Amino acid sequence: MSIATERQTIQNFVNGVWIDSASSETLPVIDPATGKTITHVPLSTAEEVRAAAAHAHEAFQSWRDVPVTERAQVMYHMKALLDKHHDELAHSVTRENGKLHDEAWGEVRRGIEVVEFACAAPTLMQGRSLQDVSRGYDTVMYRFPLGVVAGISPFNFPAMIPLWMAPLAIVCGNTFIHKPSERTPLTGNLLAELWAEAGLPNGVFNVVHGAKAVVDAMLSDPDVRAVSFVGSQPVAAYVYATAAAHGKRVQALAGAKNFTVVAPDADMERATATVLSSAFGNAGERCLAGSVVISIGDATKELLPRLIEGAKAMRVGPGDDPTAEMGPVIRAEHCARVEQYIEQGVQEGATLALDGREGRSTDGGYWLRPSIFTNVTPEMTIAREEIFGPVLTVLEAETLEEAIAIANRSRFGNAAVLCTTSGAVARTFQMQIEAGMVGINVGVPSPIAWFPFAGWKQSFYGDLHATGEDGINFYTERKAITSRW
Ligand code: NAD
């Protein structure tokens, strides 16, 4: 794998061919650990989206008729190729996103898992049948692909999130246009190389790089039937409304503010490890990051000193340094935005028990150390808004009911976690908490590919979640045929 990323400006991949964008506008792709430019990404034009969609539409006319058993064979090849290039892909993720190599490796693994799920398409694509629905009448339901699907992904999982989308869309018989994040576009090109090598016909998988103009063109393109989006809440709301207004099927996974509730009966050593890795893993740039802790009653006394001590001891360094425990954040502007939230927390009266602006590296790159706020009220900005950086906010509650009520007041509902040793407490929490993904003593409750991945409330726009059976339903149309002979 190489052609795709080792250029002055990376190329689009359309109809099986690598092509330069017609646009002269580019953005630098930067290594967040050094601040140095790796290459440039083109800001492609609406006309280039139109051309890619027309090719994808043309490719759809034959891809949809390829038997599902043959489409599944491509997934088996892709799985083998992803395994073969696993480490290389992880290095690419680390290089452009900054996350630790282990985290990048894990993300690639979670992406491969979706391809493994897609290998079961001959079973997943099955419909249903019922004979004698009335005397002499039989009904069967078949699934059909939709056509061209557009996939728009965020910067924080450059390998995994495109792999939530493309394998399922393609194995169901659709064709696909990917717009990677303009901040982390390189891994998307490596995936395009692998899809071609896996045996996809030209035009089935395409990449068009760019930013808002590319997204807008996708949302209104006449050949695009469905849009899978993952990104921040305001953009998700915009994508959902705009694509729906153009008659498209949409799933838009959005931002988050995830609560980790620590009960007084929790194993505090485990709870500390759970909270620290959830809040500061991927430098807090994870939609499942447990960025708010609510400690109940006596839990605070034991938990808080452990959290502060653990966070203080974390080794922050480049993702390819095996001793590093947290990498850089994505860009200088993002770093400044996180610092602004820290400042706002202080101004709103919270106690900054650990200040991640202190003692950080100034040697290139975008560095912050972990921050922890205490004496926080649920109304403060730092307890409500997604910061998307290494900042942990600690709230206190008297009872489980109060903790659940605080969490449920959030406009987000992506994930929620409880640390406890009590089954009864766990049951109350999992029944009452308003979130799409719940962890009991699991800090990052990311469901495996066989289950639906998405949140509730403003963390998700649409009805069919990513992956699992929802994914198959999203990428297919159902037809019920009733016959009498
Ligand atoms: P983002 O919203 O800035 O960008 C996401 C995609 O949308 C990118 O491809 C970008 O080019 C495009 N985009 C950006 N602004 C746009 C605009 N105004 N109009 C049209 N398109 C636009 O998100 P990000 O910063 O790349 O990613 C981080 C966000 O994604 C966080 O909020 C995080 O919680 C969220 N996220 C959610 C999930 C989930 O499963 N719910 C998973 C990962 C990330």
Q: What is the pLDDT of residue 7?
A: 84
How many Cα atoms sit within 13 Å of 182 on the Cβ side?
16
Instruction: Compute the distance from residue 381 Cα to the ligand 1 centre, in Å.
Output: 20
- The domain made up of 259-440 has a fold known as Aldehyde Dehydrogenase; Chain A, domain 2 (3.40.309)
Rg, the chain, Cα only: 23
232 lines ligand 1 (CB under 6 A): yes
What's the DSSP call for residue 161?
Answer: H
Instruction: Compute the distance from residue 171 Cα to the ligand 1 centre, in Å.
Output: 25
How many Cα atoms sit within 13 Å of 44 on the Cβ side?
31
What is the residue extent of each domain of the chain? 12-254+459-484, 259-440
289 lines ligand 1 (CB under 6 A): no
Instruction: Compute the distance from residue 357 Cα to the ligand 1 centre, in Å.
Output: 25
Rounded to two decimals, the pTM is 0.98
Cα→Cα distances 380→329, 353, 383, 394, Å: 23, 16, 5, 12
Give CATH superfamily name and number for 12-254+459-484.
Aldehyde Dehydrogenase; Chain A, domain 1 (3.40.605.10)
44: exposed, middle or buried (C-beta count within 10 Å: 0-12, 13-18, 19+)?
buried
3-state secondary structure of 204: coil
Beta-strand ranges (E) seen in 135-214 are 137-145, 148-152, 175-179, 205-207
**Best mutation site among 107, 235, 410, 470 for ligand 1, i.e. most ligand atoms within 8 A of its Cβ?**
235
**Best mutation site among 114, 181, 229 for ligand 1, i.e. most ligand atoms within 8 A of its Cβ?**
181
Nearest-CA residue for atom 16 of ligand 1? 212
Contact between residue 469 and residue 452 where contact means Cβ atoms under 8 Å apart: yes
CA gap 257, 383 in Å, rounded: 8
Which residues on neighbouring strands pair with residue 354, listed in sequence order? 372
Which residues on neighbouring strands pair with residue 412, listed in sequence order? 457
Strands 371-374 and 415-419 turn out to be: unpaired
The whole-number mean pLDDT for each consecutive block of 10 residues of the chain, a chain of 485 residues, reads 74 98 98 98 98 99 98 98 98 98 98 98 98 98 98 98 98 99 98 98 98 98 98 98 98 98 98 98 98 97 98 98 98 98 98 97 93 98 98 98 98 98 98 98 98 98 98 98 98
The catalytic residue among 119, 172, 287, 335 is 287
Q: What is the pLDDT of residue 450?
A: 98
Q: What is the pLDDT of residue 148?
A: 99
Contacts of 431 by beta carbon, 8 Å cutoff, 6+ apart = none
- Is 172 marked active-site? no
Cα 445 from chain centre: 13
Please determine whether the domains at 12-254+459-484 and 259-440 fall in the same fold group of CATH: no
Q: What is the pLDDT of residue 17?
A: 98
C-alpha closest to that of 39 among 6, 72, 78, 16: 6
Question: Which atom of ligand 1 lies nearest, measured to the CA of 183?
Answer: 26
Question: Which atom of ligand 1 lies nearest, measured to the CA of 414?
Answer: 41
Neighbour count for residue 116 (Cβ, 10 Å): 17
Q: What is the pLDDT of residue 363?
A: 82
Question: Which atom of ligand 1 lies nearest, measured to the CA of 253?
Answer: 41
